[in-house]
Amino acid sequence: MPGISADYVIVGAGSAGCAIAYRLVEAGHTVAIIEHGGSDAGPLIQMPGALSFPMNMPRYDWGFRSEAEPGLGGRELVVPRGKVLGGSSSINGMVYVRGHACDYDHWAEAGAAGWSFADVLPYFKRMETWHDNGHGGDPEWRGTNGPLHVTRGTRANPLYRAFVEAGREAGYQVTDDYNGVQQEGFGPMEQTVWKGRRWSAANAYLRPAKASGRLRIVRGLAERIAFDGNRAVGVELAGGRVVRAHGEVIIAASAINSPKLLMLSGIGPAGHLRDHGIEVRADRPGVGTNLQDHLEIYVQMAASRPITLFRYWNLPGKAWVGAQWLFSRTGPGATNNFESAAFIRSRAGVRYPDIQYHFLPLAVRYDGKVAAEGHGFQAHVGPMRSKSRGDVTLRDGNPASAPRIRFNYMSHPDDWVDFRRCIRLTREIFAQDAFALYRKHEIQPGEGVQTDDELDAAIREHAESAYHPCGTCRMGAADDPGAVVDPECRVIGVEGLRVADSSIFPRITNGNLNGPSIMVGEKAADHILGRRLPRENAQPWIHPDWANAQR
């Protein structure tokens, strides 16, 4: 494939990279997008209910693991990242959350000027076509003509309603649209599913861009950025190929691979690069630092009635679900089955939600292993804004080697206080009358686990990543020594190079990160094109007595 070149070269056909490619092609430019993974065709990716399969398959996943985590008893956690067209949007849980307005205002305050909620809301609206499915919501906050379809499940299982009703009984708010004016409260969860099919960034953005004739998908492993002097001019691939950029190079390779590629290209902490025999091009100590994630625990209840998804957890049941999906795109296979959610505040004095719930009418792990008890249901719960920080560093100078990933989970003492509170608040919700018909007993952590020490032991043993790594190429002011990119997404210290994906988040946002990652791609494309959507000063709902009341 000699002489590949384009106006813009993007590394990574994932959530942000696909969005950038779409907008640059739409503006008339040629784009080459480099992806190490292969096709996203096939039912295991396109069928929403099969979500536990692709994230556990080497064909679609990079297969990263964390280092041994001292705060979790030395466990190594899996760190799935999509190695496939669509990136992690092709293997994720398809949950759609924008984040809270205050998250983006914090970004701006932390040095990411132009990334306040007023700045990003127009991009969230531009990127989505929202379908409320007749459940209400806030149309003026939502988009109607974007590439990304956002839908809600049917919520046919009575447990979805029980979860929301239990929240109301416990004194919490109910919200019709957590992606609208009011995130705080219990209500329907949204998903990137359209007509029973996973609506990944590949389906939403990449295929339309390719149909234009101006996008070329290049298969290969990006080993380093090619420079002419201080300017990025292309990407060197394994095997000696170079994809050249007439304009700019954009890295959108994930919070794990983006800092790795920068460091392999000589951009990063000078001492660390020299340790691995890499010539320093720009000493940026922030590359690879500031790693954040959401950690969660599954509070699982045994069900007293056989109404959960466990009824399908056998060969005939799975065959029926698969056939129903294949022939009609309906049934349990046509949804991610996360159809009710909640965002609450952990205590008085917290201004906006810092706890998220995913509710599932099945007691199961992400690897597809169900609880031994059979019928059950669970809430995934964890703190949204952990104070723990980790890093991504090079294992060696070989581009084929996986980087070292250290999250340092639970390394801040406040995380333990917050996590215990998450579990106790969840137990209170499951104890409400709304669940009286359905609950039997607690499976995990287990009713005997009550003291702080017992809860801490359960957290060490059972807490799991929500797979939301971010922050490793932090965006900030150009004169901030710890920042990696400026508010235009330009890598500080070189020219012609940008990073645009979840790695640039100054701080993790509330909820799942796919929506914010796509938004970053949408907005970065406008920065590249030298244009900007006008700001929208919509005011989010904040609990009027947040300083004194928890609910």
501 to 119, 301, 311, 407: CA distances (angstroms) = 17, 36, 39, 18
> What span, in angstroms and rounded, lies between the C-alpha atoms of 192 and 34?
24
417 to 72, 104, 382, 459: CA distances (angstroms) = 15, 25, 11, 11
- Annotation: binding site: 84, 92-95
CA geometry: angle 519, 524, 526, nearest 5 deg: 105
> What span, in angstroms and rounded, lies between the C-alpha atoms of 32 and 217?
6
- Annotation: binding site for FAD: 84, 92-95
Q: Which two tokens stand for residue 123?
A: 């991009």
Q: For residue 140, which amino acid is it?
A: E
- Decide: 287 and 278 in contact? Cβ < 8 Å: no
> What span, in angstroms and rounded, lies between the C-alpha atoms of 311 and 318?
9
Q: What is the DSSP string of 485-517?
A: B-TT-BBTTSBSEEE-SGGG-SSPPSS-SHHHH
> What span, in angstroms and rounded, lies between the C-alpha atoms of 105 and 439?
40
Phi, psi of 197 (to 5 degrees): -125, 145
Is 29 a catalytic site residue?
A: no
- Decide: 490 and 502 in contact? Cβ < 8 Å: no
With 0-12 / 13-18 / 19 or more C-beta atoms within 10 angstroms meaning exposed / middle / buried, residue 444 is buried
Single out the catalytic residue among 462, 468, 527, 543. Answer: 468
Q: What is the C-alpha R_g of the chain? A: 22
Question: Could you identify the residue written with the tokens 């991610």?
Answer: 336
Q: Which two tokens stand for residue 48?
A: 């929403």
Catalytic sites, residue numbers: 468
